[in-house]
């Protein structure tokens, strides 16, 4: 697998984003995730968006983070990086791609000076919750677009500075 940084509006990223939206609609019976997102939110050094390709060059996984300074009115804290659009196509699940992308995103956010990674997922995504809790994330106070939803589950992990 090859993991590369891309823009959030890259055609392959858009393709996988459309797929994850369909999966959200299947799981939750609605229009998917309507959190306002813009491609520039993921541009370094204020964010990063990654895309994984399999050996045939097919896009199979995505994930990104964005800086959330200035969003205290939505429950974020200074230094927060928010994880968004973690997704692995069904055929590539179980290969450790999500864990690899998550680790790369955490390292990027840490290098950019972020002090905490936060994420929101839903109660109908038990495999996502298992990934995050096994990666050191703990439940936290709800934040973001879905903070008032009963099905929303929010998690956070401190990003300790890398040793010199």
Q: Distance (Å, rounded) from C-alpha 88 to C-alpha 152?
A: 20
Confidence of residue 164 (pLDDT cuts 50, 70, 90): low
What's the DSSP call for residue 43? S
Distance of CA 129 to the CA centre of its chain: 12
Residues whose CB is less than 8 angstroms from the CB of residue 118 and which lie 6 or more positions away in sequence, other chains included: 68, 76, 80, 81, 82, 83, 140, 143, 154, 155, 156
Beta strands 116-122 and 80-88 are parallel
> Domains of the chain by range and CATH?
2-158 (3.40.630.30)
Confidence of residue 91 (pLDDT cuts 50, 70, 90): very high
Report residue 63 as tokens: 């994930």
The answer on pLDDT for 162 being more than 70 is no
Give the tens place of pLDDT for each residue, 19-76: 999 998 899 887 677 788 899 999 999 999 999 999 999 999 999 999 988 777 788 8
What's the DSSP call for residue 161? P
Confidence of residue 83 (pLDDT cuts 50, 70, 90): very high
Report residue 93 as tokens: 């699940």
The answer on pLDDT for 146 being more than 90 is no
């Amino acid at each position: 697998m090859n993991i590369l940084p891309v823009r959030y509006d890259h055609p392959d990223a858009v393709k996988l984003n459309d797929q994850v939206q369909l999966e959200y609609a299947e799981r939750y019976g609605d229009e998917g995730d309507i959190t306002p997102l813009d491609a520039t939110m993921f541009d370094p050094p204020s964010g990063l968006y990654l895309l994984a390709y399999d050996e045939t060059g097919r896009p199979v996984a995505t994930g990104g983070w964005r800086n959330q300074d200035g969003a205290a009115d939505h429950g974020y804290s200074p230094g927060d990086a928010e994880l968004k659009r973690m997704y692995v196509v069904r055929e590539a699940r179980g290969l450790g791609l999500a864990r690899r992308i998550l680790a790369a995103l955490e390292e990027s956010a840490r290098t950019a000076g972020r002090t905490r990674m936060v994420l929101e997922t839903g109660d109908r995504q038990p495999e996502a919750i298992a990934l995050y809790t096994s990666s050191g994330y703990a439940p936290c106070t709800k934040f973001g677009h879905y903070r008032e939803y009963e099905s929303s589950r929010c998690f956070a992990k401190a990003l300790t500075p890398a040793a010199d």
